[in-house]
Structure 1
Amino acid sequence: MNTQLPRKVLVTQRFFDPESIAYLQGQGCEVSIAELAQGQGDGDLDEAQLLALLADADAWIVGHAWVTAQLLEQLPRLQVIARRGVGYERVSVDAVQASGKVATIAVGGNDASVADHAIAMMLALGRLGEAKARMLQGDWGIALGRDLYRKTVGIVGLGRIGRGVVKRLAGFEAKVLAYSPNPDWSYGREAGVQYVDLDTLLAESDYVSLHAPLNEDTRLLIDAPALNRMKPSAVLINTARGGLVDDRALLEALLDGAIAGAGLDVFLSETDPTYRATTEALLALPNVVATPHSGASTHEGLQRTNLIAAQCVVAVLNGDTPPASCVIADGRGALPTEE
């Protein structure tokens, strides 16, 4: 182990568990947890605030803060940026590479938590819906729900989380359709998944669950025409990224009865404030189940991702390489060495 001390690690995420802190300390790291105001996340911090926190940090365990070239240029001591999560659209990979630093993600830590969350939303929309609100109003009349049992579920994106949802659906004897730009035919045969084009998936599914990454090919993938291809009785689940869905088109589809409901853990307004009113209108609908981008946030899921991020930090500080699946940029060989 590298014995050069102290090695300072800044954590700008909430819920960083004592076990992960103890692991870092046992590896010769001094751990600081940023004090954030109630309701504030590190994505709300401006550049000046981040610079003040990171001035003497060797490693940064980050949540949703923007990692920009301008920020990194002012942090020569910083060696590694470890995302406690798997999405990294707020991290400038090119800037990390050019600055000679390393950026990682916590692959595998929260897959099960998000897959559970997607199934929970399907069940909530099918079986719970307005029941509690009606009961609180004194209406104890029976509200008929809808089964998940033997329904057709369309999975858009068959990565780790999408495959986790497929495993869970087996217990419901669901028929699973999948859309993926690069189908894994051997997995499909093994898991009983039928690959189809997106139009077919939308038209035939009772539940459509999104698990695709956000990129230029998938941005606003579910727009007004896509929603109009769905069954009026169908439900849309999005536990992936807000940018996959045109939320204004979704609101219109729900108001018009073009689809029956939506389960939303992510929203366009997270990155585009002009959608805030749309988000609030969606939240007010009785056929929407919503959570605040918390699908990955279980005690167990966060403990797993905390530890993976911590292990990546230690690997880099020791001069080693984290698992290849976790590395999104490694610029340590990019900078010229001094003669």
Structure 2
Amino acid sequence: MSSPLRSPVDVLVTIRFFDAEAAARLEARGYRVIRADIAYDELDTKITVGIERALETAHAWILGTPPVTRELLERFPRLKVIARRGVGYDSIDTAAVKSLGRLLTNTPGGGEPAVADHALAMMLAVGKRLGESHQRMQADDWRAIVGGELFGKTVGLVGFGRIGRMVAKRLKGFDARVLVFDPYLDHSSAEASGVTQCGLNELLAQSDFISLHAPLTPETDRLINTQTLALVKPGAILVNTSRGELVDETALLQALEAGRLGGAGLDVFAGEKDPGARGIAQKLLALPNVVGTPHTAASTRESLARANALAADCVAAALDGLEVPRHCIVSDGRVPQAA
């Protein structure tokens, strides 16, 4: 089906690893896919000159994590659809999207399985001390390092959305006891998932592994800090595959250096957005009991293909005037069409 808008209709794509199949889904419906000149070393967190130039003609934008402000939306009135590949949208002014009559979508279901896998991989890697063993062997030191098991342990999940539920499901294979802190989780849902609800303090005090799966909000900003880390069970392992800002990294570094924690697995860091925080990140990564990855939990071939296809389909549906999948709509300021 061709687009009802006058040709050519540009769809700007500023994400890495946007596959040819996803682009073909748009091109088959008459849209022109534009790739901006992206500074990939900036991890898609800045608006480059190439992006701004492309936004002058774009009707839709498939993006990662650049800031989308009211000022930017007002400067580019042709831009009607913003499609976030991923789930989080804390870098986008959702209120401005709605008040200016635009549409913001995301891609729930695309990356969640990969992130859940990554969270468990972090638990196992830090607990089994794989990084330390690898480094020793590189130095021709073949002495064994004694690690710990995930089997039979208590795992605390902070946040129990789609990813948290997938992590809990995977943990059943390890006979783990799963505690959950999520103010929005009802008792029946927790019971059906086989997890135990509790307060944050109780979770921190009892968990051998603590895995963060909460969105970044004013309530969760630096949720893990000096005060909450003081409550953590000695020797526990912290895993963060959510947002770097959930953790006060200076406090985490101090807790690790003091030996209060057994280690940390970190896929996200405050330094992703704040260059001033890179120094703390480097100090964390230098510790032998820290395993770090550069926000790649959702970066699998399968995950990216699912998310790319869903973002493309949301854009095409919106531009064609068709119904956009409701579970993908984050903020919608479009005027409803008359029946």
TM-score by length of 1: 0.95
Q: Which residue of 2 aligns with 1:108?
A: 109
Q: Which residue of 1 aligns with 2:216?
A: 214
Q: 2:278 aligns with which of 276, 279, 294?
A: 276
Deviation at 1:3, TM superposition (A): 4.3
Residues 100 and 3 of structure 1: CA distance in aligned 2, closer, same or farther (over 3 Å): closer
Deviation at 1:211, TM superposition (A): 0.1
Residues 80 and 38 of structure 1: CA distance in aligned 2, closer, same or farther (over 3 Å): closer
Q: For the residues of structure 1 that align with 2:38 and 2:216, how far apart are their CA atoms?
A: 28
* Of 26-35 and 67-76, the range deviating more from structure 2: 26-35
**1:231-246 residue pairs with structure 2 within 5 A?**
231-246=233-248
Alignment of 1:266 onto 2:268 = yes
Residues 133 and 284 of structure 1: CA distance in aligned 2, closer, same or farther (over 3 Å): same
Task: Please tell me whether the aligned partners of residues 51 and 75 of structure 1 are also in contact (alpha carbons under 8 angstroms).
Answer: no
Q: Which residue of 1 aligns with 2:148?
A: 146
Q: Which residue of 2 aligns with 1:81?
A: 82
Alignment of 1:71 onto 2:77 = no
Q: For the residues of structure 1 that align with 2:305 and 2:36, how far apart are their CA atoms?
A: 18
SS at match of 2:192: helix
Alignment identity in percent? 50
Structure 1 unaligned residues grouped into runs of 5+ = 335-339
Tell me the amino acid that sits aligned with residue 166 of structure 2: G
Alignment of 1:175 onto 2:177 = yes
Q: Which residue of 1 aligns with 2:191?
A: 189
Tell me the amino acid that sits aligned with residue 284 of structure 1: A
Deviations 1:192-234 (A, max 9, x none): 1000100010000000000001001111111111111112210
Deviation at 1:50, TM superposition (A): 3.0
Tell me the amino acid that sits aligned with residue 225 of structure 1: Q
Q: For the residues of structure 1 that align with 2:241 and 2:43, how far apart are their CA atoms?
A: 19
Q: Which residue of 1 aligns with 2:58?
A: 57
SS at match of 1:130: helix
SS at match of 1:43: coil
Q: For the residues of structure 1 that align with 2:276 and 2:252, how far apart are their CA atoms?
A: 15
Deviations 1:7-26 (A, max 9, x none): 21110011001111111111
Task: Please tell me whether the aligned partners of residues 51 and 71 of structure 1 are also in contact (alpha carbons under 8 angstroms).
Answer: no
Alignment of 1:226 onto 2:228 = yes
TM-score by length of 2: 0.95
Q: 2:137 aligns with which of 128, 135, 138?
A: 135
Deviations 1:62-93 (A, max 9, x none): 11111011111111111100000111011111
* Of 301-310 and 316-325, the range deviating more from structure 2: 316-325
Structure 2 unaligned residues grouped into runs of 5+ = none
* Of 53-62 and 269-278, the range deviating more from structure 2: 269-278
Residues 214 and 150 of structure 1: CA distance in aligned 2, closer, same or farther (over 3 Å): same
* Of 121-130 and 31-40, the range deviating more from structure 2: 31-40
Tell me the amino acid that sits aligned with residue 18 of structure 2: F
Deviation at 1:49, TM superposition (A): 4.2
* Of 177-186 and 240-249, the range deviating more from structure 2: 177-186
Deviation at 1:324, TM superposition (A): 1.8
Q: For the residues of structure 1 that align with 2:250 and 2:277, how far apart are their CA atoms?
A: 8
Q: Which residue of 2 aligns with 1:30?
A: 32
Task: Please tell me whether the aligned partners of residues 234 and 259 of structure 1 are also in contact (alpha carbons under 8 angstroms).
Answer: yes
Q: Which residue of 1 aligns with 2:310?
A: 308
Q: Which residue of 1 aligns with 2:98?
A: 97
Deviation at 1:42, TM superposition (A): 2.7
Q: For the residues of structure 2 that align with 1:129 and 1:37, how far apart are their CA atoms?
A: 30
Task: Please tell me whether the aligned partners of residues 3 and 28 of structure 1 are also in contact (alpha carbons under 8 angstroms).
Answer: no
SS at match of 1:289: strand
Stretches of 4+ moved more than 3 A in 1? 1-4
Q: 2:325 aligns with which of 323, 326, 339?
A: 323
Task: Please tell me whether the aligned partners of residues 239 and 264 of structure 1 are also in contact (alpha carbons under 8 angstroms).
Answer: yes
Deviation at 1:38, TM superposition (A): 4.7
Q: For the residues of structure 2 that align with 1:101 and 1:183, how far apart are their CA atoms?
A: 31
Deviation at 1:250, TM superposition (A): 0.2
SS at match of 1:77: coil
Deviation at 1:43, TM superposition (A): 1.3
Alignment of 1:158 onto 2:169 = no
Q: For the residues of structure 1 that align with 2:8 and 2:274, how far apart are their CA atoms?
A: 40
Deviation at 1:183, TM superposition (A): 2.2
